[in-house]
Amino acid sequence: MSCSDLELVLVAQSGDALAFSELVRRYEPDCHRVARAILRHVEDAEDEVQNALWKAFAHLRHFQRQARFSTWLTRIVVNQCLMRLRRTRRAGLVPCGQRSDAALRRAPALTAMPDWAIGREQVASVVRSEIHRIPPLLRHVFFLSDVQQLPMSEVARRLGISQTAARSRLLRARRELRSRMSRHCGRLGPATLTGS
User: What's the pLDDT at 90?
Assistant: 67
User: What's the pLDDT at 125?
Assistant: 64
What torsion, rounded to 10 degrees, do the Cα atoms 138, 141, 143, 144 define?
Answer: 170
Count of domains forming the chain: 2
Are both 89 and 143 inside the same structural domain?
Answer: no
Q: Residue 188: which domain range?
A: 108-196
Contact status, residue 128 vs residue 137, Cβ threshold 8 Å: no
Q: Is the pLDDT of residue 142 over 50?
A: yes
User: What's the pLDDT at 92?
Assistant: 57
Are both 114 and 142 inside the same structural domain?
Answer: yes
Give the 3-state secondary structure of residue 41.
coil
Are both 120 and 62 inside the same structural domain?
Answer: no
In this structure, what CATH number is given to the domain that contains residue 100?
Answer: 1.10.1740.10
Are both 30 and 82 inside the same structural domain?
Answer: yes
Mean pLDDT computed over 98-103: 44
Q: How confident is the model at residue 14 (pLDDT cuts 50, 70, 90)?
A: confident
Mean pLDDT computed over 116-143: 69
Give the Cα separation of 161 and 192 in Å (integer): 38
Are both 3 and 43 inside the same structural domain?
Answer: yes
Q: What's the gap between Cα 91 and its chain centre? A: 19
Are both 120 and 90 inside the same structural domain?
Answer: no
Are both 100 and 12 inside the same structural domain?
Answer: yes
Are both 75 and 172 inside the same structural domain?
Answer: no
For 42-52, write each residue's pLDDT tens digit: 888 898 999 89
> Which of 75, 107, 139 delimits the end of a domain?
107
Backbone conformation region of residue 63, classed left if phi is above 0, alpha if psi is from -120 to 50, else beta: beta
Are both 77 and 28 inside the same structural domain?
Answer: yes
**pTM of the entire structure?**
0.48
User: What's the pLDDT at 195?
Assistant: 47
Catalogue the long-range contacts made by 49-54 (C-beta closer than 8 Å, 24 or more residues apart): 49/77, 49/80, 51/80, 52/76, 52/77, 52/79, 52/80, 53/24, 53/28
Mean pLDDT computed over 103-123: 47
User: What's the pLDDT at 124?
Assistant: 62
Give the 3-state secondary structure of residue 118.
helix
* Cα 161-165-124 angle, rounded to 5 deg: 100
In this structure, what CATH number is given to the domain that contains residue 150?
Answer: 1.10.10.10
